[in-house]
Amino acid sequence: MSRRSGILEFAVLGLLREAPMHGYELRKRLNTSLGIFRAFSYGTLYPCLKTLVANGWLIEEPGSAPEDALAASLAGRRAKIVYRLTAEGKEHFEELLSHTGPDAWEDEHFAARFAFFGQTEREVRMRVLEGRRSRLEERLEKMRASLARTRERLDDYTLELQRHGMESVEREVRWLNELIESERAGRDQRRASPDGSAQQDSTSGETGGLPRRGETSGGTASGGAAPPDPSDDTTT
């Protein structure tokens, strides 16, 4: 299984954990909620769904509206199939959510993981955020070294493109710093509570997460922004 198909399977399982959907709904959610899948087509999605069904992680059910099924039958079309997450699929998705290795730090995989942070335990969120920051800091160091070596050989436009790429990575590092600081602040608040109680996150069971819109951390407004687009990164 390729890395890209693995990301798609992860996202499909995550969306179906929220509610059963048919293929069109899934594709729409992948396109609108998870922008990294804008280029995916039905020709990519349906083989993925069939694989997940074959693995026992999804089941196929007929559409729930009888009139829709009847209309489809009269028109000679197949009724829409609804995909539902099985207990095994939920367990598999939760296992995937707990992974914090290097794959979770890469550009596309990190964006998909971040989209489901609301379903992820705090300690896992922290490890993924810190891993992503470490990966970008390594990338930034390499970009700076490359620019220092090649600056004299670059024309003004190529040099400006290099600077733009570095600024994009620097911006994401600052954004990650804000998120990590917010997560730590929530954890410290929970530990400092005299009775051990705190307002709980509805999905992870712990306080913290994104700063509220308009709040600042490290001098920059955050407020639930999407991850900076890693495609802006430019290297030689």
Q: Token pair of 64, please?
A: 């729930």
pTM as predicted: 0.72
Give the model confidence (pLDDT) of 28-60 as tens digits. 888 887 766 766 666 788 899 999 999 999 999
pLDDT in tens, the chain (236 residues): 556 678 899 999 999 999 999 998 998 888 887 766 766 666 788 899 999 999 999 999 987 655 455 555 544 556 689 999 999 999 999 999 999 989 899 888 898 899 999 999 999 999 999 999 999 999 999 999 999 998 888 899 999 999 999 999 999 999 999 999 999 987 666 666 555 554 444 444 454 555 544 444 443 333 344 565 544 444 43
Q: Are 64 and 82 in contact (CB under 8 A)?
A: yes
Give the model confidence (pLDDT) of 17-26 as tens digits. 999 999 989 9
pLDDT of residue 33: 72
The DSSP letter of residue 217 is E
Q: Residue 148: how many CA atoms within 13 Å on its side-chain side?
A: 6
Dmax of the chain from CA atoms?
Answer: 71
Helix (H, G, I), strand (E, B) or coil at 26: helix
pLDDT of residue 31: 83
pLDDT of residue 91: 96
Distance spanning both ends of the chain, measured CA to CA: 30
Long-range CB contact pairs, 184-189, < 8 A, 24+: 184/126, 184/208, 186/122, 187/122
Residue 151 sits at φ, ψ, to 5 deg, of -50, -45
pLDDT of residue 109: 87
The residue count for the chain: 236
pLDDT of residue 28: 87
Distances (CA, A) of 197 to 39, 163, 192, 203, 207: 44, 47, 9, 16, 10
Q: Residue 22: how many CA atoms within 13 Å on its side-chain side?
A: 11
> Cβ contacts of residue 205 below 8 Å, gap of 6+?
121
CA angle 197, 199, 203 (to 5 degrees): 115
Q: Are 164 and 232 in contact (CB under 8 A)?
A: yes
Q: Token pair of 14, please?
A: 């995550």
pLDDT of residue 235: 42
Picking from 94, 108, 98, 93, the residue whose alpha carbon sits closest to that of residue 30 is 108
